[in-house]
Amino acid sequence: MGDLSAEQAAAGLAEPPAPDPEDPGDGVFKVRLSNFEGPFDLLLQLISKHKLDVTEVALSKVTDEFMAHIRAMGPDWDLDETTEFLVVAATLLDLKAARLLPSAEVEDEADLALLEARDLLFARLLQYRAYKQIADIFSRRLDDEARRYPRTVGLEPHHAELLPEVVISIGAEGFAKLAVKAMQPKPKPQVYVDHIHAPLVSVQEQAGIVVARLKELGEASFRDLVRDTDDTLTVVARFLALLELYREKAVALDQEIALGELVVRWTGGDGDDAPQVTDEFDRPPELPKEEEKA
Amino acid sequence: MSEETTELPAGLRGVADLDLKPALEAMLMVVDEPATEEHLAKLLERPKRQIARALRELADEYLTQGRGFELRFVAGGWRFYTRPEYAAAVERLVLEGQTARLTQAALETLAVVAYRQPVSRSRVSAVRGVNCDGVMRTLLQRGLIEEEGTEPETGAILYRTTNYFLERMGLRGLDELPELAPFLPEAEAIEAETQEGVPSFDPDAPDSEDADDN
Amino acid sequence: MSEETTELPAGLRGVADLDLKPALEAMLMVVDEPATEEHLAKLLERPKRQIARALRELADEYLTQGRGFELRFVAGGWRFYTRPEYAAAVERLVLEGQTARLTQAALETLAVVAYRQPVSRSRVSAVRGVNCDGVMRTLLQRGLIEEEGTEPETGAILYRTTNYFLERMGLRGLDELPELAPFLPEAEAIEAETQEGVPSFDPDAPDSEDADDN
């Protein structure tokens, strides 16, 4: 049962002075070995490295370094961490791109969205910074307090004698059961996400519909292929189905101009054997990496 | 210790004539958690205000006399502590009981829980921008936070800080936590935005809160 | 949790410049066994005679000032005691809220000690997943567990159950404690229940009226 200290080392307590990169911790631990705690921490560190004021900083200045850090992390991240980093990175890149454009005028909705994204990023960054500063206060406070020891001496023998005799009424068996229960490893807190990722729309199923329609029409625009649905998930599923069919060379895709009409042509022949569409998109998500650690 | 008075054994001597201050000193010598003024008042059969004044005066006396101990009001109650100036001497005696320091991650997480409580793990993770499950477990294990019900809409478990947290921080209560506002320019505006589930970060709002909580 | 300690080792902070009397007061505040003059002299790096004189002077001060506690030389060492004149107040405090039965938390902790002995407090906390210091103190106080040496590597105090524990359980020896193995399958069922039910309340558990861990 030495797992607590390992767990503490991995999760919350100060690591030994020379952390071992081979430590079999989870991804969270590895991130911390690189000396930052998530995207906001990294961003704050980069900003302060350049001695920039966080409230005024042009984030494009630190974007490249941020991206470099992400790249340096390699393939070891789990989806959880990567997602947050990518969200921040994408926002940063957006902002950088916007600065490269000649006009700074707010003209269309895309600009507005960019401004919103920037404000949101700032807001989250500032919020995180606030808690970080509070954490420093907590740290000092806990250190100060650790120099005070409460009196926890308990009763003098003649007082302890006043206590009523202890009654243990559960019997030896009950006691053993209790011991088993108490020593049972506690279930790790976890939130079940299956329902979130459950494929409400099956790509395989939608592929069937798309194939049937294309075989009948020979050629159709994507707009036509999704005309009978206004459900985003179904549209996405049909698009994914097309990608799979394209991979199987069952369809040809043609799009004359960017964001223009996408024309799909059936190239799968007239046979009855339907092209292979995998269940790649329909499988439940991989179990969280966390589990492997236990 | 329960607050309600149990029947006192018949033979028990009266406390009404006891000098208040030494009676308090004697009692506080044997408590092993902070004793509330209400509790002491009830046990000593005096008005709470009188108890409170006596305790403050005692604390002052120890300070003035340069004693090696102090009487402090922490986590809602009074308790004897060694004075920090003499930590070096005390530490020669007690090796156990020294607690490990918290990591930066744990401190940040604790800070978010302290100010946002009751708060779900996913909310904490959202503020820090990283998954906090492991750190939250550590804080739970060390008794610094505890569960407090669930969020009605999502079923997510909510967490709050414990009394032990207050003790470790030497705080009388949560209201003694430093104000967050000075650290947070336009705090309210940011609060309002982030409360709403952060659309551009989270396409699945309002479920968003828990989407990243795996 | 001394294994995790990253604090400065006790010996590194100087004690030589500390004022003697308050340093002694601080140390005696935290010991529950009488401390010998030799021991205190060594820890504080002063001549034993100087220690002895300071302790006597402190004892006199408390007497003169009519404090509710006293410093007594008992069984070869010095220890703070409550002054007998205020026993009535202390007795009220002791008896308040005390029952013959143990809380659920205390029973569980006792069970862990019984089956894992000798075991340190931090290990017990690790097994139970919550900080057990308060409960362990209660068990000590009620005479159900006692100290038995220290862990060689960490210096952590180890605990074992007492004869009084055996007596209260109606057992002749520890070997009469039932094997755990036969109960293991059932434990899974218990786990399953508690996982979905309200976590801290188990209606079937004996003495569940107090889920509080202190």
DSSP, residue by residue, A132-168: HHHHHHHHHHHHHHTT--B------HHHHTTSPPPB-
CB-based contact A44:A67 (threshold 8 Å):
no
Alpha-carbon gap, residue A174 to C170, rounded angstroms: 13
Which of A241-245, B42-46, B151-155 ranks highest by mean pLDDT? B42-46
| Burial class of A234 by CB neighbour count within 10 A (0 to 12, 13 to 18, 19+) | middle
Selected for mutation to probe chain A from C25, C31, C32 (highest A CB count within 10 Å) is: C32
Under an 8 A CB cutoff, do B69 and C27 touch?
A: no
Across the range B84-107, mean pLDDT stands at 82
- For residue C206, is the peptide bond before it cis, meaning its omega torsion is within 30 degrees of 0? no
Residue A105 banded pLDDT, cuts 50, 70, 90: low
pLDDT: which is higher, B49 or B8: B49
| Cut 0.80: pTM above it | no
Residue C110 banded pLDDT, cuts 50, 70, 90: very high
Residue A125 banded pLDDT, cuts 50, 70, 90: confident
Contacts of A181 in chain C (CB under 8 A): 108, 187, 190-191
A51 contacts: CB under 8 Å, gap ≥ 6 = none
pLDDT: which is higher, B211 or B136: B136
Alpha-carbon gap, residue A73 to A36, rounded angstroms: 12
Query: What's the confidence (pLDDT) of residue C141?
Result: 84
If residue C189 lies in a helix (H) or strand (E), which one and from where to where?
Answer: helix C184-196
Query: What's the confidence (pLDDT) of residue A12?
Result: 45
Q: Cβ atoms within 10 A of the Cβ of B70, count?
A: 19
Residue C16 banded pLDDT, cuts 50, 70, 90: confident
pLDDT: which is higher, C208 or A177: A177
Query: What's the confidence (pLDDT) of residue C161?
Result: 95
Under an 8 A CB cutoff, do A172 and C144 touch?
A: no
**DSSP one-letter code for A13:** B
For A25, which residue in chain B has the nearest alpha carbon? B134
A55-59, A209-213, B177-181: the lowest-pLDDT one: A55-59
Under an 8 A CB cutoff, do A164 and C177 touch?
A: no
Across the range A39-51, mean pLDDT stands at 80
Residue C212 identity: D
Q: In whole numbers, what is the pLDDT of chain A averaged over residues? A: 72
CB-nearest to B193 from A120, A128, A196 is: A120
CB-based contact C91:B44 (threshold 8 Å):
no
Selected for mutation to probe chain A from C103, C191, C193, C195 (highest A CB count within 10 Å) is: C191
Q: Cβ atoms within 10 A of the Cβ of C164, count?
A: 15
Place of tokens 């390699």: A74
Read off the pLDDT of residues A254-288 as tens digits, 9 standing for 90 and up.
888 777 888 898 888 776 666 677 666 666 554 44
Q: In whole numbers, what is the pLDDT of chain C averaged over residues? A: 80
Q: How far is C177 from chain B (nearest CA, A)?
A: 28
Alpha-carbon gap, residue B81 to B170, rounded angstroms: 11
pLDDT: which is higher, A167 or B116: B116
Length of chain C: 214
Across the range C105-110, mean pLDDT stands at 92
Q: How far is C116 from chain B (nearest CA, A)?
A: 19
Select from B199, B211, B195, B204 the least CA-distant residue to A127. B195
Alpha-carbon gap, residue C72 to C63, rounded angstroms: 11
Residue B197 banded pLDDT, cuts 50, 70, 90: very low
Alpha-carbon gap, residue A58 to C157, rounded angstroms: 56
* CA pseudo-torsion sign B92, B93, B96, B99: negative
Read off the pLDDT of residues B5-19 as tens digits, 9 standing for 90 and up.
444 443 456 888 899
Q: Where are the beta strands (DSSP E) in chain B?
A: 69-74, 77-82, 119-120, 145-150, 157-161
Across the range A87-114, mean pLDDT stands at 68
Q: Cβ atoms within 10 A of the Cβ of B82, count?
A: 29
Query: What's the confidence (pLDDT) of residue A82?
Result: 74
| Burial class of A121 by CB neighbour count within 10 A (0 to 12, 13 to 18, 19+) | buried
pLDDT: which is higher, A76 or B113: B113
Query: What's the confidence (pLDDT) of residue A10?
Result: 41
**DSSP one-letter code for C35:** B
CB-based contact C106:C139 (threshold 8 Å):
yes
Residue C151 banded pLDDT, cuts 50, 70, 90: confident
